[in-house]
Amino acid sequence: MTWGRVMRRVFVLIFIPAAIASLFYLNILGSVGPPSIDMFVERWDVLPPAYDGLVILGQKGYYKGHEIVLTSNLNAPSRLMVYYWRPEKRFIEGLAERLGLGKVVDMTGRPYISMNVQIYGNETHWMKVRGFSRVEFGVAGYRPHVGQVTQPPDKKAMKIAVRWLEDLGIYSKRIYMIEPKPSGVIVFKVRFGEFEADSPAAEVEVRDGRVIYAKLNLILLLAQPYKEFELKDLDSALKLLKATIDIGGVLSNARGWSPEKDARLSAIFSTSDFNVATIGKIEIKYHASWPGYVIPIYVFKGVTDSGEDFTGTVDAIYRG
């Protein structure tokens, strides 16, 4: 064997595995904590997409023409504020402490800490957290939203829910509607400027004078103004939605669609099983996305030619 072959074999056996291990190690280190907001300042091109982390499996090379007909319009602003709250482990630990859940455990009681999921508990209560921002809290053994409740919570229960959020330091001035549901859930909705969020900021169940279950989106509750961004025009948003549906769901968020290079989503849709969708309502809402941004989206609502309700949403931020 020649000296050159020996060196090539040494390189393959030693240096390449070392490089792969280094990349893996760096990836682990990079996942320990949320990214610093400093890395995004004055860099609009790297603002994470509204649907970052969400995957809809498309079919490469697939195409089916869909027609989307607008019977409504929207006088959209040219720019809107993006909001931000930095999800952090120490905030979650403080929240757990205020709830009397000082110990971190998994379902079997062993120490458990993960970037994606943390579970806190004691003998009577538990708290499950995803991404340091989406929180579930409950009484041990209680199954949420299960029971014989058929009447909305009364005013006393609503006051208890509000006070509970206030005591935890997460009641938001952006809450504009507190809606009791017949299921026993009290829904807290938030608004950013004149536009509401596309999902509840909090859902709380109160029974016998205490909170027995809660589901919280801390990003929606705690986000603060970050920076104003230019919006896509409606025509561009509609073309993006149609292209996303036609390709089966995978569309780039960066420079046009390119499933091979960038499969981050710029649009999502409720169904692609149609030839024509007639859009009767267009609105702007805000969507909470990882790692803590609240981003405006266009929402297209209508009906398909098969009589099925249709909803399509598009990241409204203009990205060049």
Q: Are residues 174 and 214 in the same domain?
A: yes
Both tokens of residue 115?
Answer: 């970037």
SS3 (DSSP) at 319: coil
pLDDT of residue 64: 64
The answer to whether residues 48 and 100 belong to one domain is no
Q: What is the pLDDT of residues 27-82, one digit of tens each?
A: 322 333 333 333 333 333 456 667 765 655 554 444 567 899 999 889 999 999 99
Beta-strand relationship, 293-304 and 276-289:
antiparallel
- Reported as a single tens digit per residue, the pLDDT across 155-182 is 999 999 999 999 999 999 999 999 998 8
Instruction: Round to whole Å and give the CA distance between 173 and 158.
Output: 16
Residue 8, domain member (yes or no): no
Higher pLDDT, 40 or 249: 249
- The amino acid present at 316, given as its one-letter code, is A
Considering 46-50, 138-142, 212-216, 260-264, the range whose residues carry the highest mean pLDDT is 212-216
175, 239: one domain:
no
Q: Which amino acid is at 15?
A: F
CB atoms within 10 A of CB 65: 8
DSSP 224-253: EEEEEEEBPPHHHHHHHHHHHHHHTS---S
Q: Are 201 and 221 in contact (CB under 8 A)?
A: yes
Q: Coil, helix or strand for 279?
A: strand
My answer on whether 94 and 117 are in the same domain is yes
In a domain? residue 165: yes
For residue 3, being part of any structural domain is answered with no
Q: Is residue 203 part of a domain?
A: yes
Q: What's the N-to-C CA distance of the chain in angstroms?
A: 55
Same domain as 161, residue 122 = yes
Same domain, 68 and 93: no
Number of domains comprising the chain? 2
* Domain termination site, one of 208, 225, 242: 225
The residue among 225, 258, 278 that closes a domain is 225
| Mean pLDDT for the chain overall | 77
Burial of 69 (0-12, 13-18, 19+ CB in 10 A): exposed
- Domain assignment present for residue 5? The answer is no
The verdict on residue 57 lying in a domain is yes
Strands 202-207 and 175-180: unpaired
Confidence grade of residue 117 (pLDDT, cut at 50, 70, 90): confident
Same domain, 156 and 169: yes
- Please report whether residue 24 resides in a domain: no
User: Do 191 and 265 sit in the same domain of this protein?
Assistant: no
Amino acid at 247: I
Q: What is the CATH classification number for the domain harbouring 169? A: 3.30.310
47: Cβ contacts below 8 Å, ≥ 6 apart: 40, 82, 229, 293, 295, 317, 319
Give the phi and the psi of residue 116 in degrees, each rounded to 5: -95, -35
**Measured between alpha carbons, how far is residue 62 from residues 58, 249, 253, 265, 312 in Å?**
8, 10, 19, 17, 19
Boundary of a domain, candidates 195, 225, 255? 225
Q: Which domain holds residue 107?
A: 84-225
Co-location of 75 and 93 in the same domain: no
Q: Which residues, other chains included, contact 241 with Cβ-Cβ below 8 Å and sequence gap of 6+?
A: 68, 267, 269, 300, 312, 314
**Strand-pair partners of 120:** 104, 127
177 and 72 in a common domain: no
pLDDT tens sequence across 268-319 = 899 888 899 999 999 999 999 877 899 999 999 999 999 999 999 999 998 7
Domain-embedded: residue 30: no
DSSP state of 197: B
Asked whether residue 89 falls in the same domain as residue 57, the answer is no
> Token pair for residue 79?
């720019």
Q: Looking at the structure, do residues 122 and 76 belong to the same domain, yes or no?
A: no
